[in-house]
Amino acid sequence: MRPIRLLFAAGLAISAVAVGLASASATEQIVGGSRASIADHQYVVFLSTPDGFQFCGGTLVADNKVVTAAHCTIRKAPGDVRVVAGREDKTSAEGITSAVTDIWIHPDYTDVRVGSDVSVLTLDQRLPYTPLGLPDANDATLYAARTPATILGWGRTAVDGQSSQYLLKASVPLVADADCVNSYSDYDAKAMVCAGLPDGGIDTCQGDSGGPLVVNGRLAGLTSWGVGCAAPGNPGVYTRLGTYVDLVRSRL
Ligand code: 4AZ
């Protein structure tokens, strides 16, 4: 090999290492996201067990009400759940931990793939954080395909990885109903909305469930289910909150 070709080969090897490092750091984040400030997203909360294990996300929608996924709270008693608000770093003591005095679960909820994956928690105190607005009932503009949506949570940063110590966020485009039904035969456009890139790479994952999908500053969806995380052709599936918002409002 002539020196010029050796140099070229060495350059390729160095770029390959650089790309490898870049993609490794890109996955240290939701999947494919980046650090988010709790001050900028005061409505994002996490659900923990009484001994502090974070298992789901949620959204403050009134000073003492949190919307989350039914699959996060089903078969749990209020005493099994704590709501942690104002804490970006799970390992810190910042923010406020609330007890739960009531758990409402959509009466039709059975399984994430059937829909109605929505639950409302009543807290034992009123929190000093800015809640997120609910969508208007059946606001179709909120669910137009390709609209950018923000996902937030402390869940896994890779499908078989660890959950995140810090609050992470990412932006994903909403997927057309006609495309999502091709990914998932159980997709129901009345109950759900999908978000993700055709090639994957950015997604919610285990532990993000119940957390917010924010569109135009409203709580458009709740992290619900999907096959794997961030895989091509398998977008994340979110509870379509517009369908359930009248029922949710009646619980506030
Ligand atoms: C879960 O298991 C889960 N990629 C949450 C979100 C997604 C998949 C699974 C979407 O909580």
31-76 confidence digits (pLDDT tens): 999 999 999 999 999 999 999 999 999 999 999 999 999 999 999 9
Across all residues in the chain, what is the average pLDDT? 91
Q: By three-state DSSP, how is residue 234 classified? A: coil
Catalytic residue status for 209: yes
Q: Position of tokens 């639950």?
A: 119
- Note down the domain range covering 37: 1-252
Pairwise CA distance, residues 236 & 223, whole Å: 8
Residue 209 Cβ < 6 Å to ligand 1: yes
Tell me how far the alpha carbon of residue 228 lies from the centroid of ligand 1, in angstroms: 7
CATH number of domain containing 190? 2.40.10.10
Distance 220 CA to ligand 1 centre (A): 17
> Relative to the CA of 227, which ligand 1 atom is closest?
8
- Going from the Cα of 162 to the center of ligand 1, the distance in angstroms, rounded, reads 13
Which tens digits make up the pLDDT trace of 184-210? 999 999 999 999 999 999 999 999 999
**Does 124 qualify as catalytic in the annotation?**
no
Total domains, the chain? 1
Distance, CA of 145 to chain centre? 18
Residue 49 and residue 55 in contact, taking contact as beta carbons nearer than 8 Å: yes
